[in-house]
């Protein structure tokens, strides 16, 4: 296989909904480093939230589904093993994604390194790129992922069958208290559990509104909000449009 390396700037000034991005599978290692914003990706059935100062490495031949991303600024790209000078790093022997946090000066350095890699790619400077990848890979620890409870919560919250569930309902399933669930989700994702519930409900409602055969009262119910009046207020607060206006704008 021909050696592969790509890197691009990542800039998204709005919120992208999951249903607007198709699942994809690369034959190379994929990576993303965020300077700002957040990306929630399902990787082989597991949810991983990548935020500012975090580097996500996804193994080759892995299915990736983008569930949510918001105000993203950073870099993404991919590389094949045969592009590397050294493919013996422990993180490359793992079949699970690696999520690594870089803080303060390290995060600034990572951003600057990515920018230099972008320039080197434009100049076709393979030596610099290979050395930069060596520097990156030696810093990554295999198995670095979000904690179990937040990961399980994020897995459930985007499933249609859980749309009507409250924080207490999710906490009961996960066998923790609502306060603990809120605290651990906030600590690991910088959003509360109710924030994610609202994001998931809005995402589902937008998908359902695309099908004009589904009555708005049913959209409200399926999205977890039985009261159509409350659903309309919630939807307009989040989007600036009523459900009917949103449907007519499609």
184-204: pLDDT as tens digits:
888 877 789 999 999 889 989
Domain-embedded: residue 142: no
What 3-state class would DSSP assign to 64? strand
Q: Are residues 227 and 130 in the same domain?
A: no
Integer CA distances (angstroms), 102 to 54, 105, 136, 205, in order: 6, 8, 11, 35
CA torsion, ordered 205, 207, 212, 214, to nearest 10 deg? -50
Q: Are residues 161 and 234 in the same domain?
A: yes
d(CA 178, CA 157): 15
**Phi–psi pair at 161, nearest 5 degrees:** -65, -20
Answer whether residue 17 shows pLDDT above 90.
no
Q: Are residues 165 and 101 in the same domain?
A: no
Q: Are residues 90 and 168 in the same domain?
A: no
Q: What is the mean pLDDT of residues 210-217?
A: 94
Q: Are residues 122 and 64 in the same domain?
A: yes
Q: Are residues 111 and 169 in the same domain?
A: no
The CATH number of residue 27's host domain is 2.60.120.280
d(CA 128, CA 204): 44
Q: How far is CA 34 from the centre of its chain?
A: 11
d(CA 58, CA 64): 9
Q: Are residues 213 and 114 in the same domain?
A: no
Q: What pLDDT sits at residue 191?
A: 81
The CATH number of residue 159's host domain is 1.10.10.60
Of 137, 164, 195, the one marking the end of a domain is 137
* 23-41 per-position pLDDT tens digit: 778 899 999 999 999 888 8
pLDDT above 90 coverage of the chain, percent:
50
Q: Are residues 64 and 165 in the same domain?
A: no
Place of tokens 């049913």: 218
Domain-embedded: residue 194: yes
Q: What is the mean pLDDT of residues 45-53?
A: 88
Of 109, 137, 165, the one marking the end of a domain is 137
Place of tokens 């190379």: 28
Query: Helix count (H) and strand count (E) of the chain?
Result: 9, 7
User: pLDDT class for 242, splitting at 50, 70, 90?
Assistant: very high
Mean pLDDT of the chain: 88
* 125-166 per-position pLDDT tens digit: 898 999 899 888 988 876 554 467 887 888 788 888 999 999
Q: Are residues 88 and 163 in the same domain?
A: no
Of 111, 137, 163, the one marking the end of a domain is 137
Closest CA to 54 of 117, 90, 107: 107
Q: Are residues 17 and 111 in the same domain?
A: yes
State which residues form the domain around 227.
148-249
Total count of domains within the chain:
2
Q: Are residues 109 and 128 in the same domain?
A: yes
């Amino acid at each position: 296989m021909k050696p592969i390396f790509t890197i691009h700037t990542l800039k998204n000034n709005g919120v992208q909904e999951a249903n607007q991005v198709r699942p994809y599978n690369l034959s190379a290692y994929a990576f993303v480093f965020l300077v700002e914003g957040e990306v929630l990706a399902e990787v082989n059935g597991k949810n991983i939230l990548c935020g500012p100062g975090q580097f996500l490495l996804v193994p080759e031949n892995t299915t990736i589904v983008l569930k949510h991303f918001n105000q993203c600024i950073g870099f993404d790209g991919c590389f094949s093993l045969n592009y590397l000078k050294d493919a013996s790093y422990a993180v490359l022997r793992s079949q699970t994604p690696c999520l690594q946090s870089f803080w303060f000066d390290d995060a600034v350095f990572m951003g600057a390194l990515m920018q230099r890699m972008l320039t080197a790619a434009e100049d076709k400077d393979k030596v610099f790129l290979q050395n930069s990848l060596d520097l990156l890979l030696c810093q990554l620890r295999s198995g670095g992922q979000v904690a179990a409870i937040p990961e399980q919560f994020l897995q459930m919250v985007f499933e249609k069958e859980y749309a009507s569930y409250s924080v207490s309902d999710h906490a009961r399933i996960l066998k923790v208290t609502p306060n603990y669930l809120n605290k651990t989700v906030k600590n690991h994702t910088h959003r509360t559990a109710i924030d994610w519930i609202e994001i998931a409900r809005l995402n589902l409602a937008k998908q359902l509104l695309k099908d004009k055969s589904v009555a708005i009262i049913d959209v409200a119910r399926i999205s977890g909000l039985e009261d159509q009046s409350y659903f309309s207020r919630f939807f307009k607060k989040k989007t600036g449009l009523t459900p009917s206006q949103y449907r007519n704008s499609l």
